[in-house]
Amino acid sequence: MAVHAEDENEIQKQKNIITNPTVADHSKIRSREAAVKAVTQAIELAKKYGTRLYICHVSTAEELEIIKQAKKQGVKIYAEATPHHLFLNESAYEKLGTLAQMNPPLRSPTDCAALWQGIGDGTIDTIGSDHAPHTLEEKSELYPASPSGVPGIETTLPLLLTAHRAGKITLEKIIELTRGNPQKIFNLPKNNDQIIVDINMEKEVKNANLKTKCGWSPFAGWKLVGWPIAVIINNKTFKM
């Protein structure tokens, strides 16, 4: 059972408190309490029914601690982190506005650090892009009419490889999080598909060069080191 864990009652409570909200209030409306409450409930249900539980896009330090303790208790639980929660924090609203709006929302730098720690200690099992290619026209709507979500497929691997260059993560851990663990957790059939990367290639993320039809990225302007140059699928090579 894969769960997006945010408690709707907690969200509505905050909506009633915050009048005339702007996108800068998004992380307050979809509060950390909403995430913690939902994760706690999901784990209790998983214990009760013996369900294998997958928590999508964990965003707070508190969730990680709850998940870590559940794992110690033998609950079959897995946790996912996203690149935007690893590399961005709530200060991004000032520069990006609604382009930084997502669910669950961006959190504090302390939460970002906790997610990296969760990768290191094995609490985080997978990295998911949570790719949501809303158009710039949609994103230009005045909050809260603007949709939540950001594109992420093309930048996931370069971001992780750049973090590897900075000494934050090993190549073996990247493979484990993006290939090995998802294959095991979801019982995916084995294949010999491969991604060929140039570990030293440095490129700036430019909206004009993206393949995604929405044509933008919250990481536009970032210089990343380590890019895919080809993929091998069903023994056929496709250059990028």
One-character DSSP codes across the chain: -EE----HHHHHHHHHHS-S--GGGHHHHT-HHHHHHHHHHHHHHHHHHT--EEE-S---HHHHHHHHHHHHTT--EEEEE-HHHHH--TTHHHHHGGGG--SSPP--HHHHHHHHHHHHHT---EE--------HHHHTSPTTSSPP----HHHHHHHHHHHHHTTSS-HHHHHIIIIIHHHHHTTPPP---EEEEEEEEEEE--GGG--STT---TTTT-EEEEEEEEEEETTEEEE-
Q: What is the pLDDT of residue 156?
A: 98
The residue-averaged pLDDT of 73-102 equals 98
Across the chain, mean pLDDT equals 97
Q: What is the pLDDT of residue 81?
A: 98
Q: What is the pLDDT of residue 27?
A: 98
Statement: the pTM of the whole predicted model exceeds 0.75: yes
For 93-135, write each residue's pLDDT tens digit. Answer: 999 999 999 999 999 999 999 999 999 999 999 999 999 999 9
Q: What is the pLDDT of residue 187?
A: 97
The residue-averaged pLDDT of 53-79 equals 98
Nearest in space to 66 (alpha carbons), one of 33, 112, 107:
33
Whether 193 sits among the annotated catalytic residues: the reply is no
Q: Which amino acid, 86? A: L
The residue-averaged pLDDT of 42-70 equals 98
For 127-164, write each residue's pLDDT tens digit. Answer: 999 999 999 999 999 999 999 999 999 999 999 999 99
For 186-203, write each residue's pLDDT tens digit. Answer: 999 999 999 999 999 999
Nearest in space to 42 (alpha carbons), one of 81, 15, 79:
79
Task: Give percent of the chain above pLDDT 90.
Answer: 100
Q: What are the structural domains of the chain?
A: 2-191 (3.20.20.140)
CA 89 to chain centre: 12
Catalytic residue among 7, 125, 130, 193: 130
User: In the structure encoding, which two tokens stand for residue 97, read together?
Assistant: 């506005």
Residue 106 near residue 80, CB atoms below 8 Å = no
Q: What is the pLDDT of residue 42?
A: 98
Q: What is the pLDDT of residue 13?
A: 97
